[in-house]
Amino acid sequence: MYKLSKSMSGYECVIRLEDNACIPFDPANRDAEEFASWLKSGNVPEPAEEGGTITPEWIADTIAKLLPNA
Amino acid sequence: MAYGTVNADVIGTSVAGSNLGAGNATLMKNKIINGACVIDQRNAGASVSNVAATATYAVDRWKYYGTSASKFTIQQNAGSITPPVGYINYLGFTSSAATVVGTSDIYVFGQPIEGLNITDLAWGTANAKTVTLSFWVYSSLTGTFSGALGNNAANRCYPFSYTISSANTWTQISLTIAGDTTGTWLTTNAIGIQIWFNLGSGSTQLGTAGAWGSTFYYGATSSQSIIATNGATFYITGVQLEVGSNATGFEYRQYGQELALCQRYYEKGSAGAGSRSGDNICYTYINYKQEKRAVPTFAGVSQTLNANYTDSAQCYQAGLGSASNSLFTWTSSAEL
């Protein structure tokens, strides 16, 4: 399971809840690739505590960014 | 090659039978990192059990994968046997059950090699260089074992096989593989070559050994399975992948060099954070010892990441009292 995170500086990442690791939205990061594959399977992360909504467009854009060859 | 003779990448020396360059160079000839299994940042020699369908790293740079959980354990120097002469460490796998695998199940370990480190191989071109993969193995089982080399897209693959004739005896294996003249072999910070050793994958994951093909396999047909026998062991060390048609002596790097090479992909450390007056938030700036391959995954207990780069990170911890401080450990992973 994942949860979005947004820091005070505006830095955004996705938190992998099993180990609290912060995964960047970088297609070269293999954890990010796994997250995108998880999204592609129809899963949805928890929203950030700081607010915000997770839209289908955001999911589609994130998959396209992190899995450019998919 | 005669003394003083020079070609594209080899220079003959005055020492009989030795050359500089290609597979004979003594510096950085080995494409494998931590081939002697000396660096174990994550587990520090402890035994771990495989988790289901998640590629996980054992000793540095070596990852393992099992379709189902708890089928084998992984440990640096498992079983505490004497390593081959010249080595003090090995990576050990021990079967946890007599597992009957499904035809598409995958049970393997291996190492992805970064594309930036294989540019000299020219794979995917007519100038593709021949390489030699060598390693020491020790198993409670005998027979034909296997593995495979492949590219990042998993559409080029070379299954290989090798024989262990004597159980519980260190055996050195050498396999020469003609470079692939077709396919796409990345020379970027992504996977250039992935090398896998089969521990007992299902039949559809295994192909004919000794030839390049476009279907990806993790090993060779009808090869030995470690996980099919409860308690079976498989140990490996001295893994080297080098240019040339012959295995040369293992490249012993200094410990600090090997650690630094590993830290491009995974690094851990500890840091302290002093509170900032007024808002009770502790900021910490971490400069990595080695720049990472890509923006890493960062984990720090109780910390929130405020910025994340390939060479550094900034994080903070809220809720601390004024004039308090925090000491925490962190990990940064940019593994392939």
**Tens-place pLDDT, residues B59-94:** 999 999 999 999 999 999 999 999 999 999 999 999
Q: What is the mean pLDDT of residues B151-179?
A: 98
For the segment B230-261, what is each residue's pLDDT rounded down to a tens digit? 999 999 999 999 999 999 999 999 999 999 99
Parallel, antiparallel or unpaired: strands A12-16 and B143-150: unpaired
Q: In chain A, which residue's Cα lies nearest the Cα of B300? A: A21
Selected residue with higher pLDDT from B2 and B293 = B293
Selected residue with higher pLDDT from A52 and B158 = B158
The DSSP call for residue B138 is E
Which range in B3-17, B18-32, B38-52 is most confidently predicted, on average pLDDT? Answer: B38-52
pLDDT score for B15: 65
pLDDT score for B22: 55
Selected residue with higher pLDDT from B271 and B110 = B110
SS3 B117: helix
Best A7, A35, A49 member to test B by mutation, with max B CBs in 10 Å, is: A7
CB atoms within 10 A of CB B125: 13
What percentage of chain B carries pLDDT values higher than 70? 89
pLDDT score for B132: 97
Q: In chain A, which residue's Cα lies nearest the Cα of B152? A: A69
Q: Please tell me which of the candidates A7, A26, A69 has its beta carbon nearest to residue B295.
A: A26
The DSSP call for residue B24 is G
CB–CB contact B306 A31 (8 Å): no
pLDDT score for B11: 67
| Low-confidence stretches of chain A (pLDDT beneath 70) | 70
- Which residues touch B85 (CB under 8 Å, ≥6 apart)? none
pLDDT score for B302: 80
| DSSP letter string, B160-227 | EEEEE-STTS-EEEEEEEPPP-SS----SSSEEEEEEEESS--GGGEE-TTS-BSS--SEETT---ST
Position B8 pLDDT exceeds 60: no
- Which residues touch A20 (CB under 8 Å, ≥6 apart)? B299, B301
- Least reliable range by pLDDT among B10-14, B161-165, B270-274: B10-14
Q: What phi and psi, each to the nearest 5 degrees, are found at residue B312?
A: -165, 170
Nearest to B72 by CA among B236, B225, B238: B225
- Least reliable range by pLDDT among A40-54, B78-92, B135-149, B163-177: A40-54
Task: Name the burial class of residue B112, with classes exposed (0-12), middle (13-18) and buried (19+) by CB atoms within 10 angstroms of its CB.
Answer: buried
For the segment B86-114, what is each residue's pLDDT rounded down to a tens digit? 999 999 999 999 999 999 999 999 999 99
Report the complex ipTM: 0.92
CB–CB contact A21 B293 (8 Å): no
Task: Please state, in angstroms and as integers, the Cα–Cα distance from residue A43 to each residue in A40, A51, A65, B35, following that order.
Answer: 7, 19, 17, 38
- How many A×B Cβ pairs under 8 Å? 56
Whole-angstrom distance, CA of residue B284 vs CA of residue A16:
21
Torsion of CA B93, B99, B100, B103, to 10 degrees: -40
